[in-house]
Amino acid sequence: MGYRNYIATITNQEYDKIKDFTKEELYTYKNTSMDDYVGPYDIATDRLYELGKNVDEFPDELLKPFFSNKELQDEITDEDEFYLVDKEFLKAVIDRYSDKIKAYYRKLLDPILTDERFPKLKDPNEYDPTHVYEMASHIQSMAFEWGVSVFNKTAPYDLTKGDAVTTSWKYEYAQFELVRIYKTFDWENNKMVYYGY
């Protein structure tokens, strides 16, 4: 099992109630023994999106301490991540995903295009077999998302549950889920939280 990162939400009302807590006050509020552990997932329980494993680091200026009590904030972030974030943070995630998508497609296309200004496909006889294999692997991976395989009932969305636009973790699809959150998040009444454990 590995370290995963999430974007979650907490109401302003709940945040205002707990933001100045000491560790003892937080544990009492969560009805937890001081011998146990209260993690980020116990505090920001309403997850919006799972970013997954191996998430890039973000600039410090995009991450604000959740707790005003430095001792409590330091203890929680000793092994986990737990920060308040805003619209700029979410935009940074969206921009990163976009950059990754563009770079990947550029990597797939560059070896088979004649020139960058007016790209045309090279003669297929000139294609490097390694690049052909990588393109075919990508097509296969995308096709699996749509159930073009033995898993013929899968799709990168679910019409029966949740508000998510997509259930896929592929950058090409996850990007749209993040844009949906960006456009619909109630910034006036809620705080957005970024955490990892």
pLDDT digits (tens, 9 = 90+) for 164-181: 888 888 999 999 999 999
In a domain, residue 109? The reply is yes
Give the rounded percent of residues in the chain with a pLDDT score beyond 90.
62
162 belongs to a structural domain: yes
> Per the domain annotation, does 169 fall within a domain?
yes
Residues 75, 28 share a domain: yes
- Order of all β-strands in the sheet with 81-85: 46-52, 5-11, 190-196, 81-85, 64-65
Please indicate whether residue 83 or residue 161 has the higher confidence score (pLDDT). 83
- Pair 35, 101 in one domain: no
Q: Which domain holds residue 152?
A: 91-174
pLDDT at 122: 85
Residues 18 and 46 occupy one common structural domain = yes
pLDDT at residue 22, rounded to an integer: 96
In order of 14, 18, 59, 181, 195, the CA distances from 189 in angstroms are 10, 16, 25, 15, 20
Look at residue 1 in the predicted model and tell me its pLDDT. 42
Examine the domain organization and report whether 71 and 125 are in the same domain.
no
Task: Look at residue 150 in the predicted model and tell me its pLDDT.
Answer: 66
**C-alpha–C-alpha distance, residues 37 and 22, integer Å:** 14
Q: What would the mean pLDDT of 65-90 be, rounded to a whole number? A: 96
Domain-embedded: residue 18: yes
Q: Say which residue the tokens 């921009």 belong to.
A: 95
Is residue 179 one of the residues assigned to a domain?
no
Residues 111 and 68 in one domain: no
Instruction: Report the alpha-carbon distance of residue 44 to residue 183 in Å, rounded.
Output: 20
Residue 160 lies in a domain: yes
Whether residue 32 has pLDDT greater than 80: yes
More confident residue, 8 or 109: 8
Q: What is the pLDDT of residues 91-110, one digit of tens each?
A: 999 999 999 999 999 999 88
Q: Extract the tokens encoding 45.
A: 């329980």
**Residue 117 pLDDT greater than 80, yes or no:** no
The mean per-residue pLDDT over the stretch 105-123 comes to 84
- Residue 106 in domain: yes
Please tell me whether residues 38 and 103 are part of one structural domain: no
- pLDDT of 73: 97
Looking at the structure, do residues 76 and 122 belong to the same domain, yes or no?
A: no
Q: pLDDT tier at 49 (50, 70, 90 boundaries)?
A: very high
Same domain? 76 vs 100:
no
Residue 101: inside a domain, yes or no? yes
Do 58 and 100 sit in the same domain of this protein? Answer: no
Q: How many domains does the chain have?
A: 2
40 neighbors 52 (Cβ within 8 angstroms): no
pLDDT of residue 154: 82
User: How far is the C-alpha of 176 from the C-alpha of 115, rounded, in Å?
Assistant: 31
Lowest-confidence pick of 39-53, 125-139, 149-163, 164-178: 149-163
The answer on 82 and 114 residing in a single domain is no
Alpha carbons 108 and 89: distance in angstroms, whole number: 29
If DSSP codes are grouped into helix, strand and coil, which group holds residue 4?
coil
Smallest Cα–Cα separation from 193: which of 89, 97, 121, 85? 85
